[in-house]
Amino acid sequence: MRVLLSTYGTRGDVEPLVALAVRLRALGAAVRMCAPPDEEFAERLAAAGVQPVPVGLPVRELMRGKTLPSATELARYRNELVETQFDAFPAALDGCDVVVAAGLGQVAARSVAEAADVSYVYASYAAVHLPSPHHAPPPRPGWPEPEAADNPTLWESDARQVDAQFGEALNTRRAGLGLPPVSNVRDHILTDRPWLAADPVLGPWQETPGLDVVQTGAWTLADERPLPPDVAEFLDAGSPPVYVGFGSMSPAEGVGGMAVEAIRAQGRRVLVSRGWADLDLLDDGDDCFAVGEVSHQNLFRKVAAVVHHGGAGTTLTAARAGAPQVVIPLQLSDNPYWARRVAALGLGASLDAPATTVGSLGIALTTALSPETRARAKSLGSRLRTDGAEVAARRLLERRR
């Protein structure tokens, strides 16, 4: 069996598909993957034995600023990505039996698969990306926030915005492939049977009419890389520190520094992850240490708490490690959703990023560092599944039988 995987985004978008690819290859499938052309992604795929197909602009270029690109720039990037996908996907899909697309940006995948008579699966990493009366749509950068109060109306508005962005380009390309037009681009991409690659305890799906969601569990791999010697030395030199990191994102102005100040006020040491923003939060104090690329699975088992932006991967890794969390979500994608889930499950606290202060961070840290929160975090961590990628890989293989 040959499988094409496709996504476009940061590491949090790419890593789940890498996990799925590894499981598929172990079951005998051949895998290639459309991903951003960033060097680190190409190296990651090569190490996993997956043929990379670079599509779109390097993501680091889009994320390197302190703020996101303007609405006009984002609209241009999105339109260019659709054109690039339609140009690249036919060759990438050649000889494949199924394509798995993850992320709304995968506008072309279903149409190219349809034209080639290839099976298509859409996957989401968080329930909030799938339409349901139980939650509102996630924030979409560059698009105006609708003013409606009820969730169904908000989802209707979301569909109209997706149509306005992608409808003309999609249907023009579909006509060129001899395919009929679609009237609802978002639901066309999602299908009525999407897969949800999220842990059913941490991020459950609530039944919704019209969507037959297959929740496989999160797609992850074990990462038992030993910690670098200098990191291990810092950890051994005192009490467990509090980790601060924002992954591929840049935190709101001043938030990183406020986090360090608030952690120190609690009498805790600080471990800062530089991330894509290359955070520089260090001073001359020996209670603060910076780390680069490390195994978060190993590291989070050794920290007192994790302060982060609410990415799906970071939230899951901290939860599995039994580490309490303080989430300062960007108003972007699923970050606010995971912040709400952390608070609802009693795993820590969440804050409103623009309104965050040293004082509010101190209150959140007091909650996260309490014995009660740590006990809940450890208890929930033992209930989370680790077989999501295996479940998904086997389901894909069964589709061909």
Residue with the two structure tokens 């994102």: 249
> With a cut of 70, which residues of the chain have pLDDT below it?
63-68, 277, 280-282, 400-401
Instruction: Kindly tell me the sign of the dihedral angle through the C-alpha atoms of 298, 301, 302, 306.
Output: positive
pTM for the model stands at 0.94
Contact call for residues 76 and 62 (beta carbons, < 8 A): no
The pLDDT score that the predictor gives to residue 390 is 98
The pLDDT score that the predictor gives to residue 281 is 65
The pLDDT score that the predictor gives to residue 279 is 72
Architecture of domain 2-220+386-400: 3-Layer(aba) Sandwich (3.40)
Q: How many CA atoms lie within 13 A of 330 on its CB side?
A: 21
The pLDDT score that the predictor gives to residue 92 is 96
Residue with the two structure tokens 């349809």: 114
Architecture of domain 229-381: 3-Layer(aba) Sandwich (3.40)
The pLDDT score that the predictor gives to residue 63 is 67
The pLDDT score that the predictor gives to residue 377 is 98
Q: Do domains 2-220+386-400 and 229-381 have the same CATH topology?
A: yes
pLDDT, tens digit, 9 for 90 and up, residues 252-306: 778 888 999 999 999 999 999 987 767 766 677 789 999 989 999 999 999 999 9
The pLDDT score that the predictor gives to residue 262 is 95
Q: Where are the domains of the chain?
A: 2-220+386-400, 229-381
Percent of residues, the chain, with pLDDT higher than 90: 79
Can you tell me whether residue 110 is helix, strand or coil? helix
The pLDDT score that the predictor gives to residue 75 is 85
Residue 214, both tokens: 């297959």
Contact call for residues 396 and 98 (beta carbons, < 8 A): yes
Query: Could you tell me which residues are beta bridge partners of residue 51?
Result: 32
At 294, which amino acid appears? V
Q: How many CA atoms lie within 13 A of 388 on its CB side?
A: 29
The pLDDT score that the predictor gives to residue 355 is 87
Distance CA 63, CA 201 (A): 31
The pLDDT score that the predictor gives to residue 178 is 97
Can you tell me whether residue 343 is helix, strand or coil? helix
The pLDDT score that the predictor gives to residue 103 is 86
